[in-house]
Amino acid sequence: MLCYIKRTNQPPEIEFRVLVPKRDPHSQLDPLLPQPSKGVPGRLHTLMQSLAAGRRPQWVMVLPLLGMIVFAAADWYSALPATATARYMGRDSCVQCHTTQGEQWHGSHHDRAMELPNEASVLGDFKDSKFTRFDVTTKFFRRGEKFFVNTEGPDGEHHDYEIKYTFGVEPLQQYMIEFPDGRVQVLRVSWDTIKNEWFYMTPPDVTDERIEPGDPLHWTGIGQNWNTMCAECHSTNLQKNFDPESNTYTTTFSEIDVSCETCHGPGSLHVELAESRSLFWDRRHGYGLSDLKQATSTEQVETCAPCHSRRQQIHTGYQADEKYLDHFDPSLLRAGLYHADGQVLDEVYVYGSFLQSKMYAEGIRCTDCHNPHSLELKFEGNRLCGQCHQPGKYDSPTHHHHTDPAATQCVNCHMVEQNFMVIDGRRDHSFRIPRPDLSAQLETPNACNRCHTKSEESSDWAAMAVREWYGDKRPNDPHYGVAIAAAWRGDEKATELLQKLLRRKDTPDIVRATATELLANYPSQTNQRLVRQAVDDASPMVRTAGLRALSVEFLLRFPQQVAAHLEDPIRLVRLAAARRLAGEAARLIDAKYRDDLDRAIVEYRSAQNVMQERAAAQLNLAALSQSLGNNRATIKSLRRAIRLEPYLSGVRDKLASLLEQSGADPTEIHELREEEAALLARNCKLLPEHAQLRYQRGMLLYLLGKYDEARQALEDACKLGPDTYSNWLALALICEKQQHWQQAGEALKQMNRLRPKDPAVREILQRIQLSRAKQ
């Protein structure tokens, strides 16, 4: 038996040639010998025919070669234990073999995502330079080899702080300071590496006001906290290590920047296999790493998505061969994050945009355009797009109808750039067709009017030009933005538009999930039937939205359908099912699902603990505990939420109500409501057109016995929200209590307008008439 082994960077190819004696010198080929097949090479079959024909081997050669094949077989069979776990090794172990990739990565934005401060890494001016904004002066200076800043601290006083790390490299660099409790905070005063000057990184929509200490947007607040907001995507193998009891961090990482193992996973098994004398890669663990070259487009995109998406983490330790939705809960197309047509509004980090694109639907992946190690584009200008789109057809005046060089670039029409962090331009990766015809209807921007800004160059003007060039029909009509915009406005036509949207087969999953979520605002039998269909959709993103949007009525009618998803292969779906079933619905599910529900609830709690330093996670745990009837745990989570983020409104009101039900000290309840009223007053000042805030404040002031202030707040709520029934009901009731009969009568008329023949109107009117008769 001869064994030929081809050793390359791929799994070795082995070719066997077997020598056996024939059974009879006059026999034909033994019918028991294997025929040519997928498992038997043709050469083997030919050789066996030769042996059967009478040619004998040299036996002196057989035994050594037989030993070789036994060795090869034993080598293949031997393997690392199935339970072997890879450890992080560091980039030095990788570049010994992968030199080219290491050279491309060196100096990239991933390489310089975060660094220790030194002469080479610090780009800002620390030669006693100063920056002043709203009478707060920040000074940057050095003490020997160390870099310092003097600025306003959390107490409102100025202090000297040592720079712990640099953050980023282009077009801006930020600087970080570590506090004794393990928190690392990112300064808002940052260095513009293009203009070489200091600037203040204002939050979105905050351009002309001072951010006070204690505000979550102050550089010492949660909004600028590295441990929870930034660290996971700027370092390798980050362990946050938050202690909720002491409210402290002991955050660690294996490498300070975004290194090889961030994307490829921990490499110890790969290194062990590569350095062994084995002929094979491991039969249990393969290469010991995720094979991103052979990954599908979805798998590769999901490898990048954890750090290039707006999402909530639900499970730690993501690696490239795992499902994105097993670890993250991505934001859908929600107001404040996206425009109604899906264009980027806030910083959403690409993934949600890319999911909307035809590129994603056609299997395009990140590495088709970007070098995964240097992060540079593969080609400059339109040549990049020309890889797929015929230049003769698209890189031509017959397509773009422009002569200005900038206007002829594909990206300027189809990937509009928007600045975040004041100066950092990011392109919209939805690769959309410019739609100026939708701008007036949906109040959305369009690519045309970013350049054409003259008074006569309106969106209608641009839309007319588009029609002249390409005709009346748009390839993406009917556009999903029309349905989403209608739902955001509360338009009664939204129901029909959303229904049609969900029935279109070519609608991206993220859009269908968004539409499903919005249907929950329009309760009807038809809509809930569509939501039920979404619960069993092929897309886990849509299934999750369906479970969350299912009405209580349908949940109680069809609990088994929801319970079936307690065993869903995707963690995010299981968590949604568990949250809906926790409580009353749990009593209705079949006994076979009860253990699944218990496991899923444990999994849900674990998911919230991933972000336990945030009040939102504590509020989710409080809601779960309340559903399960555990008021003690609910109160504990609410108290923790207040301690973590004391500036949040709504939490104290919930806590006060629970404490009141449990017979707690009235003094604490009153104090909680006074604090809540002050927070609501702040919110009303920040959002002067928000009717619901006025309503909430009015109801709370009523509980505090401040009836005149409560009535004024409710009057404001009615002015801002004249078509909201609850506003007029609350005003009618407080006017009844204060005997403001005429005003109460006006409120009752509005209630009757909104809900004719509502019995509540008659009941209040009868009480008022009776009270007036007794006077």
Secondary structure E strands in 26-128 = 114-115
Query: Which residue's structure tokens are 């749990």?
Result: 586
Rounded Cα gap, residues 571 and 329, in angstroms:
10
List of residues 6+ apart from 633 with CB closer than 8 A: 621, 622, 625
- Each residue's pLDDT tens digit, 35-54: 444 444 444 455 455 545 55
- Each residue's pLDDT tens digit, 406-458: 999 999 999 999 999 999 999 999 999 999 999 989 999 999 999 999 999 99
Question: What pLDDT does 457 receive?
Answer: 94
- Each residue's pLDDT tens digit, 104-153: 999 999 999 999 999 999 999 999 999 999 999 999 999 999 999 999 99
- Each residue's pLDDT tens digit, 746-770: 999 999 999 998 899 999 999 999 9
75 has a pLDDT exceeding 70 = yes
List of residues 6+ apart from 451 with CB closer than 8 A: 407, 412
pLDDT band at 55 (very low <50, low <70, confident <90, very high): low
Q: Are 207 and 245 in contact (CB under 8 A)?
A: no
Which residues on neighbouring strands pair with residue 344, listed in sequence order? 338
- Each residue's pLDDT tens digit, 333-379: 999 999 999 999 999 999 999 999 999 999 999 999 999 999 999 99
Question: What pLDDT does 5 receive?
Answer: 40
User: What pTM value is reported for the model?
Assistant: 0.87
Sheet holding 136-143, edge to edge: 129-133, 136-143, 146-152, 158-162
Question: What's the farthest any 2 CA atoms get from each other in the chain?
Answer: 129
CB atoms within 10 A of CB 241: 12
Q: Which residue has the higher pLDDT, 469 or 290?
A: 469
470 has a pLDDT exceeding 60 = yes
- Each residue's pLDDT tens digit, 498-547: 999 999 988 999 999 999 999 999 989 999 999 999 999 999 999 999 99
Which two three-digit tokens encode residue 742? Answer: 């005429």
Rounded Cα gap, residues 225 and 216, in angstroms:
9
Rounded Cα gap, residues 313 and 231, in angstroms:
13
Rounded Cα gap, residues 641 and 650, in angstroms:
11
Alpha carbon separation from 501 to 352, 481, 482, 546 (Å, rounded): 18, 10, 10, 15
Question: What pLDDT does 99 receive?
Answer: 95
Question: What pLDDT does 301 receive?
Answer: 96
